[in-house]
A = this chain, B = another copy of it.
């Protein structure tokens, strides 16, 4: 019957559907003529979220928001589109990935590429010099999508930033604490937070003989080290970027270094690096950062890593990136990074770019890569075959005989008004079995059955779906009884 089919449909929606990611990423839908409508799908690199995915996403974002609030952040929001001119020249080479809106008369607009540049615009526009805020919203990049690995053209960013003039490294340390708290709480496996400082990088490049004009491009080339081996990065630097092989080889020695307080102390003694003013400043701040991280008890998962560069132009100080580590396998091989799940750093110059007088507001922040984490949790959930409830309905209002629609409507209305989450079938005379089956399928724990007898006696039969136990409850006590049974 149609009803049965409907039930099967609902049932299937409770599992994370396999078609969650459209089967045709990459192709453009083919029109077979003006009459037959193509089976429209979302644009390339974007996707719908099904109810089970929304449940999972809700849990995930809940964890992130709780952490941001635990650290005293307030929420803000900015529009999805910005003036095109405002976004340009903030992202270096990546500007070509910005989605532009068509010129339909009026302003020239584009979709935001991240939440950081709009945040800086917001601070400058409102002359805010001191705020701790979080912002969770979607951003847009015309990148080549890799949807199975959680890389999309429309994706969530979860940002926490601290703006203001403060004593060094205290807010920076808090950002790392936040990454540590969120990744620990989500239980997505072992992770490592790599830390570096743009000042140390720039000093290192300088003493290796890289000309100042090449510093920015060096950072974005170095940033590829997590995707390709040093040999390839080296040849890009020598070949495309035209740097001397000797200078690049000197860089090559430094970028292999990673460690903790020991390495910081060692580099502070490095005869060449310690003579560079920028590098020295960066290293001293790095030492302070590690002192604070020691007090936070999180140095075990933090590595000072000279190969970390971060791609974006606007960073000016400490930078960091969290990667998930694959479990050590049986052969005892070392763990390998499987991708960045959080990143950020200090950007002290960005707000000044939007202020007519160039007034600077120092900022440091972190962005949680929710999409990759979501991919991991989604795969895990599919594998475990866990049945996700996508609704929170507490009770099904059911009738055992015909001609009782009025009774159901009246009772469910009383329950809604009492704040109880209740559903009923949208049928005049559904069979009791169908109504009970709906509860089993959708995970509704209780059924409130109202028949002719119950109506006469002023009671409702409350049935526990799991135990099948039934008890008559005076009608006026029903809402309280449901609450008593379900609310902890």
Contact = CB atoms under 8 A, between A and B. Distances in A.
Interface of A: 2, 5-6, 9-10, 13, 17, 19, 22, 28-29, 31, 36-44, 46-51, 54-55, 57-58, 69-83, 85-86, 99-104, 106-107, 109, 111, 121-122, 124-126, 128-133, 138, 140, 142, 154, 162, 164-167, 170-171, 173-174, 177, 181, 292, 295-297, 353-356, 390-393, 405-406, 409-410, 413, 416-417, 419-423, 426-428
10 contacts: A36-B356, A40-B86, A51-B76, A54-B77, A72-B393, A80-B154, A100-B101, A100-B102, A166-B426, A181-B417
A354 to B, nearest CB: 6
Nearest to A128: B9
A426 B162 contact: yes
A193 to B, nearest CB: 16
Contacts of A44: 106-107
A129 B12 CA distance: 12
B19 A51 contact: no
Contact of A13 (B50, B70, B74, B106): B74
Chain copies in complex = 2
A100 B111 CA distance: 12
A2 B164 CA distance: 10
B37 A353 contact: yes
Given A48-B122, A79-B43, A154-B81, A37 B354 contact: yes
Contacts of A49: 75-78
Contacts of A58: 75
A37 B107 contact: no
Given A19-B126, A391-B73, A83 B46 contact: no
A416 B295 contact: no
A26 B407 CA distance: 55
Contacts of A37: 353-356
Contacts of A43: 79, 81-83, 107, 109
Contact of A130 (B10, B80, B82, B422): B10
A130 to B, nearest CB: 4
A1 B428 CA distance: 72
Nearest to A44: B107
Given A70-B421, A75-B390, 17 more contacts: A10-B130, A13-B128, A22-B125, A29-B83, A39-B356, A43-B82, A49-B78, A54-B75, A57-B77, A69-B421, A70-B419, A101-B102, A102-B103, A132-B391, A162-B426, A181-B416, A295-B410
Contacts of A121: 40
Contact of A427 (B22, B167, B427): B167
Contacts of A99: 81, 101-102, 104
Contacts of A54: 74-77
Interface centre among A22, A70, A106 (most CB of B within 10 A): A70
Lowest 5 A-B CB distances belong to which pairs? A166-B426, A51-B74, A46-B79, A72-B423, A6-B130
Nearest to A178: B416
Contacts of A126: 17, 19, 48, 50
A406 B154 contact: no
Nearest to A5: B129
A296 B409 contact: yes
B181 A129 contact: no
A393 B122 CA distance: 23
B154 A42 contact: no
A73 B336 CA distance: 42
A431 to B, nearest CB: 14
A122 to B, nearest CB: 5
A139 B421 CA distance: 28
Given A40-B354, A107-B28, A166 B427 contact: yes
B413 A79 contact: no
Contacts of A42: 78-79, 82
A485 B351 CA distance: 40
Contacts of A50: 76, 126
A28 B106 contact: yes
A47 to B, nearest CB: 7
A48 B71 contact: no
B40 A413 contact: no
Contacts of A405: 170
Contacts of A177: 413, 416
A83 B40 contact: yes
Contacts of A138: 80
Contacts of A36: 356
